[in-house]
């Protein structure tokens, strides 16, 4: 009687690659590559329990877990197990940022700012909290209201991104221009002059702001008194500022000093 004994080659371990996930990320089933004609045999973290297929790692807990996989020939020979290390990396905290910024309407704004931890980079988002921006946004101040921006930080080693910090940008209403009874004032050369005057139009606590003829130099002494020693025309400007330090549009006041005509000719 002939008895044939066949000894098959050990298929060896399958090809595997360790993998890392950020905490709470969506994970995929583990993967391994078997040789042609062989099938994979998956084991749990104890290396003994045979699983029905490739396991999907849990990403709920930070740490390292090892799974095992072998390959089996058509004849039932199973090779050595390969280990797959799954690392769950922690998420960084939200970056440090000033959570509330205010601007007056049409004020020149600067780019928002936040501070990332060492080894981290900032990731800026638009007002929808989803669109990734190329850098820190500069808020628009053309419309009164409140807008929220978002920023997170990403670990530059693990690429894990943490929760977003919110930055609320509020654009405040400007007060209306003050009331000026007379925007054209005439003096004769050398005549005594009075301080210019304007009236705050609305808002408790509003104050007047006076400007020199360049419309930008603030006159700290209050309402100016025109000089009448020299003939000509000079312009002054006045606005009002509210409790939020928002300044209204300016009102222009023109002061004209006319030359003394002298005495008439008489006989």
pLDDT value of residue 203: 63
Q: State the pLDDT confidence band at 260, using cuts at 50, 70 and 90.
A: confident
Tell me what pLDDT residue 251 has.
97
pLDDT > 90 in the chain, percent: 92
DSSP character string of the chain? -------PPP--PPEE--EEEETTPPP----EEPPTT-EEEEE-TTS-SBPSSPPPPP-SS-EEEEEEEEEE-TTS-B-PPEEEEEEEEPPPPPPEE-SEEEEETTPPP----EEPPTTEEEEEE-TTS-SBPSSPPPPP-SS-EEEEEEEEEEETTT--B-PPEEEEEEEEPPPPPPB-S-SEEEEETT--------B--S-TT-EEEEE-TTSSSB-TTSS-----SS-EEEEEEEEEE-TT--BPPPEEEEEEEEPP--PPP--
Q: Using CB atoms within 10 Å of the CB of residue 46, give its burial: 0 to 12 exposed, 13 to 18 middle, 19+ buried.
A: exposed
pLDDT in tens, 235-248: 999 999 999 999 99
Give the pTM. Answer: 0.76
pLDDT mean across residues, the chain: 95
Q: Does 9 have pLDDT greater than 80?
A: yes
Question: What is the pLDDT at residue 204?
Answer: 67
Does residue 219 have a pLDDT over 70? Answer: yes
Q: Is the pLDDT of residue 61 over 70?
A: yes
Quote the pLDDT of residue 75.
Answer: 86
Half-sphere CA count of 158, side-chain side, radius 13 A: 18
Average the pLDDT over 227-232 and give the result.
95
Looking at the predicted structure, is the pLDDT value of residue 256 above 80?
Answer: yes
Residue-wise pLDDT for 162-208, tens only, equals: 999 999 999 999 999 999 999 999 999 999 999 999 999 876 689 99
pLDDT tens-place string over residues 124-159? 999 999 999 999 999 999 999 999 999 999 999 999
């Amino acid at each position: 009687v002939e008895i044939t004994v066949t000894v098959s080659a050990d298929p060896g371990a399958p090809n595997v690659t360790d993998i890392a996930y950020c905490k709470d990320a969506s994970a995929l089933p583990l993967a391994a590559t078997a040789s042609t004609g062989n099938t994979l045999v998956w084991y749990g973290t104890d290396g003994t329990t045979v699983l029905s297929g490739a396991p999907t790692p849990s990403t709920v807990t930070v740490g390292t877990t090892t799974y095992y996989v072998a390959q089996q020939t058509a004849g039932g020979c199973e090779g050595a197990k390969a280990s797959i290390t799954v690392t769950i990396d922690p998420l960084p905290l939200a970056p440090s940022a000033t959570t509330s910024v205010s601007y007056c309407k049409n004020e020149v704004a600067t780019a928002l700012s936040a501070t990332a931890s060492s080894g981290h980079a900032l990731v800026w988002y638009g007002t929808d909290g989803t669109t990734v921006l190329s850098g820190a946004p500069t808020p628009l101040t053309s419309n009164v209201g409140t807008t929220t921006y978002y920023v997170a930080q990403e670990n530059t080693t693990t690429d894990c991104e943490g929760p977003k910090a919110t930055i609320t940008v509020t654009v405040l209403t400007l007060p209306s221009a003050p009331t000026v009874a007379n925007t054209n004032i005439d003096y004769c050369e050398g005549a005594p002059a009075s301080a210019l005057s304007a009236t705050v139009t609305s808002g408790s606590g509003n104050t007047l702001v006076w400007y020199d003829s360049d419309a930008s130099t603030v006159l700290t002494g209050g309402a100016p008194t025109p000089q009448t020693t020299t003939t000509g025309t000079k312009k002054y400007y006045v606005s009002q500022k509210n409790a939020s330090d928002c300044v209204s549009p300016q009102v222009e006041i023109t002061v004209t000093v006319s030359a003394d005509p002298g005495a008439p000719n008489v006989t």
